[in-house]
Structure 1
Amino acid sequence: MSHESFLEHAPSVIRKAKSVWSDFIDFVASDNVLQVAVGLIIANGFTKVVQSLVSDILLPPIALLPFIDRNFEEKFVVLRKGPHANQTLAHSAGYNTLDQAAADGAVVLAYGQFITNVANFLALGVFLYLIARVYAVFTHKTIISRTVRCAYCRKYVSEKAKRCFNCTSWLDGREERETSAL
């Protein structure tokens, strides 16, 4: 492509680039994208608060129980020792920390971290449910909608729906009355 040919097409390329940029700005500035972005930022902060609550407040007192000798996150089982286990562990019964086992290349089952993650998940779910209930009390709008199963396709449908969104059958039993009348 010659230099003159490039200059001939430059205005249309610039016009297309401006159009793409304008469309992108319209998309980013739309209400839905901004609402989702704000929601994700708030959710990230809320998740960190709940994780701190579980890891720093709830689990440490449980770690004081006599049969638990360390913090939950440090509970692990060695499935296979690392290559330097005999040199490193000559004077002790095993790895003292998860980091020590990982540094030696040992294969470990970190069940303490799993317990912590399950506790975080359950606490997050409970707090989100409580927030939804408090929101419903103050605004008289429900976030948690009750559902029923469609008798035909077995999908969950809003309790207030008149027809199933999946199979379009009537949820008030209208179809059963029509077929039994025949």
Structure 2
Amino acid sequence: MLKEFRDFAMRGNVVDLAVGIIIGAAFTSIVNSLVKDILMPPIGFIMGGIDFSDFFIALSTTQYDTLKAAQDAGVVTINYGLFLNAVINFLIVAFAIFILVKQINRFKKAEEAAPPPGPSESEKLLAEIRDLLKSRP
């Protein structure tokens, strides 16, 4: 059973999947930083200094200025600003993957469209010999 598991785990597809998951996790942290640290501050500035991560609905009668203040008070909140950030993260990741897959498909089409190489010298010589042997009476 251990040998069978090792054979399964070492298949090319499983190893490729593991590498993809690891790279995807690293890529996700990069995209999260891109959205949180680079994209959202200018968007918030353009919209009058709004921080999307502080958009929330507190399910209590008391009003809180920030999400952190509401959470520190132990109030249940609906964090639609954080959800908006997650949607933006997803759209950026999806767009990047779309571009990546599009480029990979373009390279595959170029490889498929390349004409196959002609016969080698030895194949040409063998064909000549075959033709000469066929022409003998």
- 1:27: which partner in 2? 8
- 2:45: which partner in 1? 64
Secondary structure in 1 matching 2:90 = helix
> What is the rounded CA distance, in whole Å, between the counterparts of 1:120 and 1:41 in structure 2?
18
> What is the rounded CA distance, in whole Å, between the counterparts of 1:34 and 1:66 in structure 2?
45
> What is the rounded CA distance, in whole Å, between the counterparts of 1:66 and 1:128 in structure 2?
29
- Choose which of 25, 39, 60 in structure 2 pairs with 1:80: 60
Secondary structure in 1 matching 2:59 = strand
Gaps of 5+ in 1: 1-19, 86-93, 142-182
Quick one: percent identity of the two aligned structures? 35
- 1:118: which partner in 2? 87
The alpha carbon displacement at 1:103 in A equals 1.9
Q: Which has the higher helix share?
A: 2
The alpha carbon displacement at 1:65 in A equals 2.8
Gaps of 5+ in 2: 111-137
**CA spacing shift, 1:28–1:72, aligned 2, 3 Å:** same
What is the TM-score when the length of structure 1 is the normalising length? 0.54
Q: Deviations over 1:81-134 (max 9, x none)?
A: 4xxx5xxxxxxxx42321221121212221110110111111111111111112
The alpha carbon displacement at 1:45 in A equals 1.5
What is the TM-score when the length of structure 2 is the normalising length? 0.70
Q: State the structure with bigger RCO (CA 8 A, min sep 6), 1 or 2.
A: 2
Aligned residues between the structures: 110
Runs of 4+ aligned structure 1 residues displaced above 4 Å come to none
Q: Which has the higher strand share?
A: 1
> What is the rounded CA distance, in whole Å, between the counterparts of 2:60 and 2:12 in structure 1?
53
* RMSD over aligned Cα atoms: 1.9
The alpha carbon displacement at 1:66 in A equals 4.4
